[in-house]
Amino acid sequence: MKVIAHYDADGTIHALLRVDAPEGITVLIPPEPGLFAGEVDLAGLEADDDGSVEALESLLTTYRVATPAPRLELARRGD
């Protein structure tokens, strides 16, 4: 089971999506314009991580994304 979060630049989670995919398979459901998407690491969270609707609702109301938008540094390409 993978959980994908759709979140904004402030870290507010707008949606949590549960996807049953085999290990090694990358799944990403595109977010609405202006939102980001990323896989949630459920390990160590103080929530029931069984993937039920109630567990996801608990995550949605209790947590936010700690590092909402990665800051990218660009480097010149080598010639």
pLDDT in tens, 30-73: 899 999 988 888 776 665 556 677 888 888 888 888 876 666 67
Q: How many Å apart are CA 65 and CA 44, to the nearest integer?
A: 15
- The pTM for the full model equals 0.72
Which pLDDT band holds residue 78 (cuts at 50, 70, 90)? confident
pLDDT at 35: 93
Residues 51, 3 contacting (CB under 8 angstroms): yes
Residues 7, 35 contacting (CB under 8 angstroms): yes
pLDDT at 33: 94
3-class SS at 3? strand
Which residues sit opposite 3 in a β-bridge?
18, 40
Which pLDDT band holds residue 75 (cuts at 50, 70, 90)? confident
